[in-house]
A and B are shown apart, each in its own frame.
Chain A
Amino acid sequence: MVNVLLIIFIISLLYVSIANRIITYVRVLALQGVILFGVTFLQLKDIQTWNLVLILLETIVFKAVAVPIFLAYLIKRNKITRETEPYLPHFISLLIITMIVVITVLLANSIRDTYLDKIFFIVSLSTIFTGLYFIATRKKIITHVMGYLMIENGVFVLSLAVGNEMPNLVNLGIMLDVFASVLILGIFLNKIGDVFKAADVDQLSNLKDY
Chain B
Amino acid sequence: MMTAIYLISAFVIAGLFFVNRNSVINNILIIIFGILQTGFTIYGCYNHNTSVLEYFTFDSLGLLLLMTLSVITIPALFHSYLYIKRHDETPQSRAIYFSALVILITSITAAYLANHIAVIWIFTELTTLSASMLIYHHRNKLALEGTWKYVFICAISITFVFIGILFLSLSLHHAGSDDLSFSNLMLYKDQLNPFWLRLAFLFIFTGFTAKLGLVPMYTAGIDAKDKAPAPAGALLASVLMNLGFVGIFRFYALVAHTSLFHWANLIIFIAAFTSIFVATVYMTKILNIKRMFAYSGIEHMGIVMLGLAAGGVGYYAAVLHIMLHALVKSGLFFQYNQIYRTFQSKSIQNVGNYFKYNPTGAIVLLIGFISATAMPPSGMFVSEFLIFRALFEGNYIILLILVLLLLTIVIWAFGKNILKILFLPVPDIDETKIPKISPWESLSQYILMFMAIWLGLNPPAAFVQLIQDAIKILPN
Contacts and interface: CB of A to CB of B under 8 A. Distances in A.
Nearest to B149: A204
Interface string A117-157: 00000000000100000000000010010001001100100
Contact of B144 (A113, A158, A192): A192
Contacts of A46: none
Contacts of A187: 132
Contacts of B145: 204, 206-207
Main secondary structure of the interface of B (DSSP, over half): helix
B163 A116 contact: no
B404 to A, nearest CB: 24
Contact of A176 (B129, B146, B162, B173): B162
Contacts, number: 101
A176 B159 contact: yes
A73 interface: no
Which of B145, B166, B223, B291 gathers the greatest number of chain A CB atoms within 10 Å? Answer: B166
Interface stretch (A10-18, A37-45, A161-169): A161-169
B57 interface: no
A187 B155 CA distance: 14
A91 interface: no
B142 A206 contact: yes
Interface stretch (B38-46, B282-290, B352-360, B425-433): B282-290
A173 B223 contact: no
A180 B285 CA distance: 35
B163 A155 contact: yes
B86 interface: no
A209 B286 contact: yes
A207 B226 contact: yes
A196 interface: yes
Interface string B136-168: 000001101111110110011011001101100
Nearest to B162: A176
Nearest to B173: A115
A206 B141 contact: yes
Interface string A17-55: 000000000000000000000000000000000000000
Closest 10 CB pairs of A and B: A180-B155, A210-B287, A115-B173, A207-B223, A162-B166, A204-B145, A210-B285, A195-B144, A162-B169, A209-B286
Given A176-B159, A184-B152, A188-B151, 10 more contacts: A141-B148, A155-B163, A158-B166, A162-B166, A165-B173, A184-B151, A188-B148, A207-B142, A210-B286, A210-B287
5 contacts: A172-B162, A176-B125, A179-B129, A204-B149, A207-B142
Interface of A: 111, 113, 115-116, 128, 141, 144, 148, 151-152, 155, 158-159, 161-162, 165-166, 168-169, 172-173, 175-176, 179-180, 183-184, 187-188, 191-192, 195-196, 204, 206-207, 209-210
